[in-house]
Structure 1
Amino acid sequence: MATVVTMPRLSDTMTEGTVATWLKKVGDKISEGDILAEIETDKATMEFESFNSGTLLHIGIQAGETAAVDSLLAVIGEEGEDISALLAGGGKAEEPKKEEAKSEEKSEEKKSEEESKPAAEAETKSEDKKDEPKAESAASASLPKGVTVVTMPRLSDTMTDGTVATWLKKVGDKVSEGDILAEIETDKATMEFESFQAGTLLAIGVNEGETAPVDSLLAIIGPEGTDVSGVAENFKKGGAAPAATSDEKEEPKAEARSEEKSETKSEEKTESTETRGAAESSEAKSEAPVEVVSDGKRIFISPLAKKIAEEKGINISQVKGSGENGRIVKSDIENFKPAAATASAPAAATEAPKTEAAAAKPFVPAGETYTEEIKNSQMRKTIARRLSESKFTAPHYYLTIELDMDNAIAARNQINALPDTKVSFNDMVIKACAMALKKHPKVNSQWKDDVTLIHHHVNIGVAVAVEDGLLVPVLKFADQQTLTQIGSNVKDVAGRAKNKKLQPAEMDGSTFTVSNLGMFGISEFTSIINQPNSAILSVGAIKEQPVVKNGQIVVGNVMKVTLACDHRTVDGATGAQFLQTLKQYIENPVTMLA
């Protein structure tokens, strides 16, 4: 069945968008994840990808045209499918759904693939046959007025399910448009999820720590006091709204309805008051407040840091955060020293000599074994899956070479002597890799079953260690950037990666990857290729060691790099030639300016 694609809401302030460029045309085959178009919002021009597969049957907004959010952007379906009825209905899927409901009623097949079908079937089975306008009004009234179902969002192109790390709102809280509802952990990062609706948080479908598939019921927002129990139950069964709503409205008389409504409202108010009272009493019982300090301001803390603080019994209101906007991270908790502990330190120091003076006693093994079980995060699962696929499908081989870093050290000192300029050795390696890839495009390739893709653009992924694992932000067109631009961009994306502020698009599209552990004193190491790349460069530390120059043994600065290659696309000689070019650039940095 054809799927209607509407103008997406790509920012919290976006009300309309302009199609800058269509990257697909009518008749093209579309795969899930393909970029359909570039859409210009009020903040930026962003790539819009397809979450559906099929054939592009219709384009509703031409390049250069502007349309409101939720306007018909395109239609994707099976090749040759008739979509005239869909277009005649203004892109709304209600009419096709009603036709499907009628055909299913005739064939008596019980399917519930779409959320609107349960409501349609419930109405067609009723004794009083109604006109189509009445059916439409009844279908639209199946959800209580003003109530919106919020589903688990798809925050990255590879995301299939998400874990709620933290709820920043609780049931009964007022929600304004743009408020952060929760922190959701995806397969790539933990991201803040904001509300696009205003109202009261009536129900939560996925509790903290729970994982649910994309499009599962996450929360329900609507007017205060609205009964949404039927909505939540029916959504879990696959429906869009409680089907019993229409039957309950038909049976009672007008007077009985008014009495029931008044009773229901009074009961709901009583229940909501009791619920809030219970919630407040349970919060008051907690020994150490985790979310709010005494002055009523919210404390921003990462989920892992919060967990460690609870295990150690640390009052987080006493901890000063070093993250963005004062956010408390893992290192803040681990390095926290309470005032009492600091005061007792001198006393402990004076007792230490006495303890050392005591005679050493033989150690007798005693105690109990202790194992901690930590739930695997979505990021950890994705790292395990993708690296396993890479290691077991791509035949890896490794090439290592030593680089003389004396000239590079001298060149870096001269560059950094300039005002407001800061370049690292890693920036020089990235620049050298980008230029070497232009000369050896086979290393800048991607393996597919039938063809090998040779990329003539250079997008270099930079491996960044974060609290929960590893992220690889991408420097687009690195060969066209100067050393200072590379240094500035690496610092920017690495900082946002550690604070979990990277967007999924900033981690896609790499053609080559650089991983550097030199800052940890690692001399050399090997890496697993970051698929779908064909190679990854592992960069070690710069070490002083004896070297032979002009027949003399002198102290030299040496750095080892190791290139991991996919033998399906990169032969040994090709990889060796790439390293020779890389060596020339790094040992003579001035050649990178030619």
Structure 2
Amino acid sequence: MSVEVVMPKLGMAMKEGTVSIWNKQVGDRVGKGEPIASVSSEKIEIDVESPAEGTLLEIAVPEGEGVPPGAVICYIGHPGEKIAPVSDSVQTEEPTADESPVKETPVKSKQVKTGGDRVKISPVARKMAEAGGINISEIQGTGPGGRITKEDVQEAMKQSRVQKAEEKQMDTSVLESSEQAQEMKVSGIRKVIAGRMHDSLQQTAQLTMNMKVDVTELISLQKQTAETVQNRYENKLTVTDFIARAVVLSLQQHPHMNSAYINETIHLFKHVHLGMAVAIDKGLVVPVIRHSEKCSLIELSSSIKTLAQKARGGQLSSEEMQGSTFTISNLGSYGIEHFTPILNPPESGILGVGAVYDTPVFKGETIEKRSILPLSLTFDHRVLDGAPAAAFLQTVKQFLEEPVTMLL
């Protein structure tokens, strides 16, 4: 009997997984433990390994299609072997302890046309539709009782020809005006990111404000403590570490920034679960440092580096990328000074960090070379207004310009 390979459950909150790419095709030999496909959820992408040695008999879920956890995605067995029927147990899942059953609201039933014999259609019209490649379930019948007539099919075929002609003309005009481009199907993490960023801009009232911070003293403190930190903790404090610490301390003073807007209700969080955006080959992930307010500067630094390393190695669990209350996105290593970060819903704020640069600054009557750090704060205007958001950013600035206060 063939072996079923199912969609794994990548975290307690996962509702659907998507097959990003198939590494094997039907008829290919596979070894036990060999990666046969990559699947992704909203937060993570992993390889699915073959549970047995054999031949890939059938692919049940094509690339780019999403199915719930436990659904069969392919079958492995011996060539010509009978495929096992899908078990009823994988069709539905019992809610976990963290998931409350959703009570369905009764709705008034509405008759919907489906394919096959349920659609009212004359034999002549059916043959015409089959010959013309027309989906009869998409045709609105004008005959008695909604019956699809020959004329309805003829009109559908006419509309199909017009649409194909317009698409061909559009494709031709594009190719004539530019070189032919390589097409890449959007799937996996890239598809998730695209959807989330679009929804973020559509469903929130985002506003961004910028501020410059003098981090000359911070960089000096970083250099002074570098040897001690390395010898005692085998670690290296970075500017990002100090920024993360300043943000955590500031969020405790400005709780409205450490919040979420959910169902027309503002949720103020007692704990700071700090998200640190990390760029990977397939997109962007945001590992979360939970209860960051309980971490010292050294502990926060260690957590940031550990999670970033796991993110780049594809080793993050789904739980390590959930529950953030505020996010930091740093593009300073790319030489970017100012940018507009997009909120990570349902969070109310995200801080964009640019590259530190040196510039002459007046100090009284003299000019000094100072190191300047650009910050960009995007916040949800539904949760708080410009003044309290500016006050939060001002507090971050104060901590960074007086770095010793973060060590006390």
TM-score by length of 1: 0.49
Counterpart amino acid of residue 163 in structure 1: V
- Is the alpha carbon distance of 1:206 and 1:424 closer, same or farther for their aligned partners in structure 2, counting shifts above 3 Å? farther
Counterpart amino acid of residue 165 in structure 1: I
Deviations 1:69-103 (A, max 9, x none): xxxxxxxxxxxxxxxxxxxxxxxxxxxxxxxxxxx
- Offset of residue 193 of structure 1: 2.0
Give the aligned partner of residue 340 of structure 2: 526
How far apart, CA to CA, are the structure 1 residues paired with 2:56 and 2:282? Answer: 32
Give the aligned partner of residue 403 of structure 1: 213
- Offset of residue 546 of structure 1: 1.6
Bigger relative contact order, structure 1 or 2 (CA pairs below 8 A, ≥6 apart) = 2
1:203 partnered with 2:57: yes
How far apart, CA to CA, are the structure 2 residues paired with 1:404 and 1:239? Answer: 60
How far apart, CA to CA, are the structure 2 residues paired with 1:562 and 1:414? Answer: 28
* Contact preservation (8 Å) 1:405, 1:557: yes
* Contact preservation (8 Å) 2:64, 2:187: no
Of the candidates 433, 451, 465, which is equivalent to residue 247 of structure 2? Answer: 433
* Contact preservation (8 Å) 1:202, 1:226: no
How far apart, CA to CA, are the structure 1 residues paired with 2:250 and 2:72? Answer: 49
Give the aligned partner of residue 502 of structure 1: 316
Counterpart amino acid of residue 395 in structure 1: A
* Contact preservation (8 Å) 1:462, 1:515: yes
Give the aligned partner of residue 447 of structure 1: 261
Deviations 1:472-504 (A, max 9, x none): 111111222222222222222222222322111
Of the candidates 223, 230, 234, which is equivalent to residue 413 of structure 1? Answer: 223
Q: Quick check: 482-491 or 458-467, which moved more?
A: 482-491
- Offset of residue 566 of structure 1: 0.5
Of the candidates 213, 219, 230, which is equivalent to residue 67 of structure 2? Answer: 213
Give the aligned partner of residue 188 of structure 1: 43
Deviations 1:520-567 (A, max 9, x none): 111111111111110000111111112121332222111111111101
- Is the alpha carbon distance of 1:370 and 1:173 closer, same or farther for their aligned partners in structure 2, counting shifts above 3 Å? closer
Aligned to 1:417, the other structure's residue is in SS state helix
* Contact preservation (8 Å) 1:415, 1:421: no
- Offset of residue 576 of structure 1: 1.5
- Offset of residue 164 of structure 1: 4.6
Deviations 1:237-257 (A, max 9, x none): x999xxxxxxxxxxxxxxxxx
Give the aligned partner of residue 471 of structure 1: 285
How far apart, CA to CA, are the structure 2 residues paired with 1:395 and 1:368? Answer: 37
Larger-Rg structure: 1
* Contact preservation (8 Å) 2:19, 2:40: yes
Give the aligned partner of residue 165 of structure 1: 21
- Is the alpha carbon distance of 1:179 and 1:370 closer, same or farther for their aligned partners in structure 2, counting shifts above 3 Å? closer
- Offset of residue 168 of structure 1: 6.2
Counterpart amino acid of residue 219 in structure 1: C
Deviations 1:148-203 (A, max 9, x none): 42222332535524125243697575754x664433244434302235x5464562
Give the aligned partner of residue 351 of structure 2: 537
- Offset of residue 446 of structure 1: 0.8
Aligned to 2:354, the other structure's residue is in SS state strand
How far apart, CA to CA, are the structure 2 residues paired with 1:442 and 1:367? Answer: 51
- Offset of residue 368 of structure 1: 7.2
Counterpart amino acid of residue 544 in structure 1: D
* Contact preservation (8 Å) 1:404, 1:559: yes
Give the aligned partner of residue 150 of structure 1: 5
Counterpart amino acid of residue 49 in structure 2: E
* Contact preservation (8 Å) 1:206, 1:212: no
Of the candidates 69, 75, 81, which is equivalent to residue 227 of structure 1? Answer: 81
Give the aligned partner of residue 572 of structure 1: 386
How far apart, CA to CA, are the structure 1 residues paired with 2:369 and 2:328? Answer: 28
How far apart, CA to CA, are the structure 2 residues paired with 1:526 and 1:582? Answer: 18
Give the aligned partner of residue 554 of structure 1: 368
* Contact preservation (8 Å) 2:16, 2:67: yes
How far apart, CA to CA, are the structure 1 residues paired with 2:398 and 2:56? Answer: 64
How far apart, CA to CA, are the structure 2 residues paired with 1:579 and 1:174? Answer: 55
Q: What does 1:319-330 correspond to in 2, within 5 Å?
A: none
Give the aligned partner of residue 247 of structure 1: none
Q: What does 1:302-451 correspond to in 2, within 5 Å?
A: 369-418=179-228, 419=231, 420-451=234-265
- Is the alpha carbon distance of 1:160 and 1:483 closer, same or farther for their aligned partners in structure 2, counting shifts above 3 Å? same
Aligned to 2:260, the other structure's residue is in SS state strand
Give ranges in structure 1 of 5+ residues lacking alignment. 1-143, 241-365
Deviations 1:103-149 (A, max 9, x none): xxxxxxxxxxxxxxxxxxxxxxxxxxxxxxxxxxxxxxxxx5xx542
Give the aligned partner of residue 165 of structure 2: none
- Is the alpha carbon distance of 1:208 and 1:559 closer, same or farther for their aligned partners in structure 2, counting shifts above 3 Å? same
Counterpart amino acid of residue 277 in structure 2: A
* Contact preservation (8 Å) 2:61, 2:74: no
* Contact preservation (8 Å) 2:30, 2:36: no
Counterpart amino acid of residue 189 in structure 2: M
What's the C-alpha RMSD, in Å, of the aligned pairs?
2.9
How far apart, CA to CA, are the structure 2 residues paired with 1:587 and 1:487? Answer: 19
Give the aligned partner of residue 395 of structure 2: 581
Q: Quick check: 467-476 or 367-376, which moved more?
A: 367-376
- Offset of residue 512 of structure 1: 0.2
Give the aligned partner of residue 461 of structure 1: 275
How far apart, CA to CA, are the structure 2 residues paired with 1:477 and 1:443? Answer: 16
- Is the alpha carbon distance of 1:368 and 1:400 closer, same or farther for their aligned partners in structure 2, counting shifts above 3 Å? closer
How far apart, CA to CA, are the structure 1 residues paired with 2:274 and 2:320? Answer: 11
Deviations 1:26-78 (A, max 9, x none): xxxxxxxxxxxxxxxxxxxxxxxxxxxxxxxxxxxxxxxxxxxxxxxxxxxxx
* Contact preservation (8 Å) 1:205, 1:217: no
TM-score by length of 2: 0.70
* Contact preservation (8 Å) 2:64, 2:188: no
Number of residue pairs the alignment of both structures matches: 317
- Offset of residue 370 of structure 1: 2.4
How far apart, CA to CA, are the structure 2 residues paired with 1:548 and 1:516? Answer: 28
